[in-house]
Structure 1
Amino acid sequence: MRPTLFAFILCALHGTASAQPRLATPDLSCAEAAGLVARVGAIVMTTGPFTYARFVHDGGFCPLPETTRPAFETTRDVPRCFVGYTCHDRFTEGASRD
């Protein structure tokens, strides 16, 4: 059986794939959000109705030449919770965007 046919049959038997909802920092406690980032290392979470961010535990989860910046987000119990870091380009930090 060809691989593409097999994949089609497998999907048909198990139903269609659906997107998993993304965790939202406003729905988590500060400890839950920070603990999740620390446990998995890097994760994308919703931060508001139309926003999201990728949070990392440390710079080892950022591509080169990026560096980390502390990330504070609103959580269920803390308005400004340190959840981990976000990755930013170290060479264009502070550069004007004219």
Structure 2
Amino acid sequence: MSRAILAAILTLAAAPALAQSRPDTLTMTCAQTQALVKSKGSIVLGSGQFFYDLYVASVTYCPIGEVTRVMFVKTKDQPACPLSVCDQPFQNY
């Protein structure tokens, strides 16, 4: 029984570390960040401690009916590095 409790405690203690393991755009150049997105297809990237989003290489990684739009993130070498995110298409009412 004590092994199960120890395993649970270790699992809970490791959870915050796992949540913080996403790549951070502030530590990469724009070219490195864009290459990472392209190689993974879709990936969650952080831009500091509390900012993150899902970036995609193309619309094929978006849910059906969504489109890509350009979003700019700060990287080690540029204040506005262009990356794609999924978004709802523009609706003209």
Q: TM-score, normalised by structure 1?
A: 0.70
Q: How many residues align?
A: 84
- Structure 1's unaligned 5+ residue stretches are 1-7
Higher helix share: 2
Structure 1 equivalent of residue 85 of structure 2? 86
Higher strand share: 1
Deviation per CA, 1:7-26: give whole Å up to 9, x if none: x97xx4xx535442311111
Identical columns (%) = 35
Q: 1:80 to 1:91 in 2, by over 3 A?
A: closer
Moved over 2 A (4+): 15-21
What does residue range 46-85 of structure 1 map to in structure 2 within 5 Å? 46-82=46-82, 84-85=83-84
Measured on the aligned residues, the alpha-carbon RMSD in Å equals 2.5
Matched residues in 2 for 1:66 and 1:47: separation? Answer: 24
Matched residues in 2 for 1:70 and 1:91: separation? Answer: 14
Matched residues in 2 for 1:76 and 1:63: separation? Answer: 30
Matched residues in 2 for 1:69 and 1:77: separation? Answer: 22
